[in-house]
Structure 1
Amino acid sequence: MSKTIKNTATKEEGKNALVPKLRFPEFRGAVGWTPVALGEASVPVTERVGERKLTPVSISAGIGFVPQAERFGRDISGNQYQLYTLVRDGDFVFNKGNSLKFPQGCIYLLERWGQVAAPNVFICFRMKDGYSNGFFQQCFEQNQHGRQLKRHITSGARSNGLLNISKDTFFGVEIPTPSPAEQQKIAECLSSVDELIATQAQKLDALKTHKKGLMQQLFPREDETQPRFRFPEFQNTGEWEIKTMGSFASFSSGGTPSKDNPAYWNGSIPWVSASSMYDLIIKKADHYVTPLAIGKGTRIAKKGSILILVRGSMLFKRVPICIAGIDVAFNQDVKALDVDTSINTSFLLYQLSAFQSRIPINETGIGAGKIELEHLKGFELFFPEVHEQQRIADCLTNLDDLITTETKKLEALKAHKKGLMQQLFPSLGEAEA
């Protein structure tokens, strides 16, 4: 501990100290933070697994450690297993693979695993005394390492998907660091926020799981014509009626206006494509068109229309289905359904969502999924009388409203943490001013 403090004091004499915008009261009069290289603050972990029988792991950006068998469907260590690195709880592992969240690679702390086997292409290290795991974990979550490694990466990923980052370069990354006591205080503060975020995420997941189970009860299962659960007032009203989609809906196709004509784009009308179809009710899109574009490659789906993605690689994971909350335009990969007044559109939306795994998906020559129009028109759905449709739609809509509320709470907590971290950590660039 004393050695760490001595090193910090020496650095203070040669570098401008860093001071965050927000400090806890007991540290406001303390010296500024000092950039410390990872090579100084940690020791490499290089012990091989050898004959030990441990779980081979990978690292997934945004998730952390994942057993190889879970991520890849099998253990991919093969003959290299004995050369894997032995990683213990409290060790950090750097995955040099680039990702959307961490373009220069991600770093995770091993916790509650005991011991695991990590591929030897990963860089593993352990913090020295005086350097808090919790503090550095938050620094790596901020991607402080990536912002420095970026200038050392001169080419894309290799054939194995890993960036060309040497150990010397990695351990040369400098992290602005306060005293051990201040490190611990910050780590405890942010850890408490992380616990709130985790609790809220669990609450949200529980609601989504409840909705999924409820939908399985509210709509008929395969080879059945009425659901397992019916509201008391409808329990003796008989079987649901089977209808094909072509019998109660008309279908229209969208399109893409010429990208060469600027008069068609950047207007006020949402132009819906696969990337926009994540909410049940759609009122906005990634791109917008002008009224001039309508009839010149695209068309309008009126408010209340059902929109279904019928072409794209996304179909192999899910079938995006939504209701137009306002008049929208849409592209050629989307079908719009104009539904008879005898059908409750919200009820239809929820039933299609519940049955989406039954919709036949074909594969195109370029590897994308496709729903044939004749299959969609012939797809069978089940309908009670209109009052029961409304009752089911209201129940699920209320649950969706609750999910939306809890989602916003989760997003607010994450935004609070992000803002707090911006205040609690100084920028390394400030030292160079």
Structure 2
Amino acid sequence: MNKAEIMTKKHDKKCPLAPRLRFPEFRDEWYSQALGTIASIIKEKAEDKKCTLMSIITGVGLISQIDKFGKEIAGNQYKNYRILRKGDFAYNKSATKDYPQGFIALYAGNEIAAVPNSIFTCFKVQPESIVPAYLNYLFLGNFHGKWLRRYITVGARAHGSLSIDDDDLLSLPIPYPKGVSSLGEQQKIADCLSSLDERIAAETSKLDRLKDHKKGLLKQLFPAEGETLPQLRFPEFRDAGEWVQKIISDVCSISTGKSNTQDKNDDGIFPFYVRSAIIERSTKYLYDEEAILTVGDGVGTGKVYHYVNGKYDLHQRVYRLFRFQNIDGKFLFYLFSTFFYDRVSKMSAKNSVDSVRMDMIAKMPISLPTLPEEQRIADCLSSLDELITAQTQKIDLLKDHKKGLMQQLFPRIDEVLHE
């Protein structure tokens, strides 16, 4: 008797399981059975078959090697690749932050596919027992990881992947309803979550369009380097004349903060800006002002910007532009954050930007319109940022809703795993 059969007998002796939320037409009992009773390992090799070669993006799923790498990378190993057909699963045993025990992806394509045998274990399910899309949502919730972690020896790897025996994978207890309506309930759960995924994808696409629209506006509302007029102007300013050439130090003061990373405190009431896009908290504030902040060194150099207006704490390697003179602060924020990275890149002696000198900011040339036009541009971009923020929050709420649904549409993991 293999491990899967042993685990099945063990789980069948337990009390029936039931999720907290069910569709009213389904009332059959739930049980858990080992994956090995409803699935089998795929041993078929690609050999000389013509297959779509696949790789994986953790948390997303299987994609073609061409889409991920720009080419197929099988080489001489092609013949040993494992075959996948629609509804099959591929377990990538590479650990990631979100899936430290590896990621299991459903193959939904119609063409025959193949994945490397070195880091993938592939399996197919019995369609008369389990709906692949239903099972996929269990795996997306990392249900398997909470089981497999007990079998992984710290640091145990082979060919760059976690050392997981097929028997350990097949012993994974899978909860699902019994009875004649089992497949119907599984499909209903999958359809419910799938429709929510489609909504999230649609809202994410809308967010991407808003961001692209903003990028386009930023290029058109400010003059290009060496120019004194933008491509796009609001009607009331079309006869206002050329923009005036200045440098940053003409319109504001520049300095850095004084605090260290160790000064952060999760219980602090003041925002603490450090050398990353993440805003920490602090129990003290150094400044109470309107300012533009940008990272002075590290991976966020030239990429991270903040606009603040109030009390805040500041890291010693974060620059602040403050005490604005005859310029709208929000306008300067959009102008500076649009063009500064290119300037630093050109002035850096290295291939990658990793630090900022004071004069890179102070002597940066800028073109300025009249103050009313500055305010009009800033208001336009601020309104767009508000839409982007609202859309981002909408997506986050949908994702939280999906997470809550998944917790209720499936039995509690600790009950299934008997931890």
TM-score normalised to the size of structure 1? Answer: 0.85
Structure 1 segment 212-361 matched on structure 2, within 5 A: 212-257=215-260, 259=262, 266-275=267-276, 277=277, 285-290=279-284, 300-315=286-301, 319-361=303-345
User: In structure 1, what is the Cα distance between the partners aligned to 2:211 and 2:174?
Assistant: 39
Corresponding residue of 2:112: 115
The answer to whether 1:100 aligns with 2:97 is: yes
Instruction: State whether residues 11 and 33 of structure 2, in contact with CA within 8 Å, keep that contact through their aligned partners in structure 1.
Output: no
The answer to whether 1:42 aligns with 2:33 is: no
Corresponding residue of 2:168: 169
User: In structure 1, what is the Cα distance between the partners aligned to 2:200 and 2:410?
Assistant: 20
AA in 2 matched with 1:102: Y
User: In structure 2, what is the Cα distance between the partners aligned to 1:159 and 1:374?
Assistant: 51
User: In structure 1, what is the Cα distance between the partners aligned to 2:65 and 2:317?
Assistant: 36
1:68-93, Cα deviation, whole Å (9 max, x unpaired): 34444554333222222222332211
After superposing the two structures, state which structure 1 stretch, 250-259 or 179-188, moved more. Answer: 250-259
Change over 3 Å in CA distance of 1:234–1:112 after alignment to 2: farther
Determine helix, strand or coil for the equivalent of 1:304: strand
User: In structure 1, what is the Cα distance between the partners aligned to 2:172 and 2:82?
Assistant: 22
- Measured after TM superposition, the shift of residue 334 of structure 1 is 0.7
The answer to whether 1:124 aligns with 2:119 is: no
- Measured after TM superposition, the shift of residue 231 of structure 1 is 0.8
Instruction: State whether residues 176 and 428 of structure 1, in contact with CA within 8 Å, keep that contact through their aligned partners in structure 2.
Output: no
The answer to whether 1:144 aligns with 2:130 is: no
- Measured after TM superposition, the shift of residue 55 of structure 1 is 4.1
Change over 3 Å in CA distance of 1:258–1:406 after alignment to 2: closer
The answer to whether 1:396 aligns with 2:393 is: no
Instruction: State whether residues 284 and 313 of structure 2, in contact with CA within 8 Å, keep that contact through their aligned partners in structure 1.
Output: no
User: In structure 2, what is the Cα distance between the partners aligned to 1:176 and 1:117?
Assistant: 28
Change over 3 Å in CA distance of 1:234–1:363 after alignment to 2: closer
Determine helix, strand or coil for the equivalent of 2:367: strand
Instruction: State whether residues 155 and 164 of structure 1, in contact with CA within 8 Å, keep that contact through their aligned partners in structure 2.
Output: no
Corresponding residue of 1:3: none
- Measured after TM superposition, the shift of residue 378 of structure 1 is 1.8
User: In structure 2, what is the Cα distance between the partners aligned to 1:95 and 1:165?
Assistant: 11
1:195 corresponds, among 193, 198, 203, to 198
Change over 3 Å in CA distance of 1:314–1:34 after alignment to 2: same
- Measured after TM superposition, the shift of residue 145 of structure 1 is 0.3
Instruction: State whether residues 18 and 428 of structure 1, in contact with CA within 8 Å, keep that contact through their aligned partners in structure 2.
Output: no
User: In structure 2, what is the Cα distance between the partners aligned to 1:223 and 1:54?
Assistant: 52
User: In structure 1, what is the Cα distance between the partners aligned to 2:158 and 2:221?
Assistant: 49
1:372-399, Cα deviation, whole Å (9 max, x unpaired): 2222222222211111111111111111
Determine helix, strand or coil for the equivalent of 1:117: strand
1:17-68, Cα deviation, whole Å (9 max, x unpaired): 111111111223x22x211222222122232222345443321112222343
Corresponding residue of 2:372: 387
1:192-239, Cα deviation, whole Å (9 max, x unpaired): 211211111111111111111121111122342221111111112222
Instruction: State whether residues 11 and 173 of structure 2, in contact with CA within 8 Å, keep that contact through their aligned partners in structure 1.
Output: no
Instruction: State whether residues 272 and 282 of structure 2, in contact with CA within 8 Å, keep that contact through their aligned partners in structure 1.
Output: yes
Instruction: State whether residues 290 and 329 of structure 2, in contact with CA within 8 Å, keep that contact through their aligned partners in structure 1.
Output: yes
User: In structure 2, what is the Cα distance between the partners aligned to 1:88 and 1:65?
Assistant: 12
Corresponding residue of 2:361: 376
Q: List gaps (5 residues or longer) in structure 2.
A: 1-7
AA in 1 matched with 2:114: A
AA in 2 matched with 1:371: V
Instruction: State whether residues 313 and 369 of structure 1, in contact with CA within 8 Å, keep that contact through their aligned partners in structure 2.
Output: yes
TM-score normalised to the size of structure 2? Answer: 0.88
User: In structure 1, what is the Cα distance between the partners aligned to 2:240 and 2:133?
Assistant: 60
User: In structure 1, what is the Cα distance between the partners aligned to 2:164 and 2:272?
Assistant: 42
Change over 3 Å in CA distance of 1:236–1:59 after alignment to 2: same
Q: Superposition RMSD on alpha carbons, in Å?
A: 2.7
Aligned length: 403
- Measured after TM superposition, the shift of residue 106 of structure 1 is 1.1
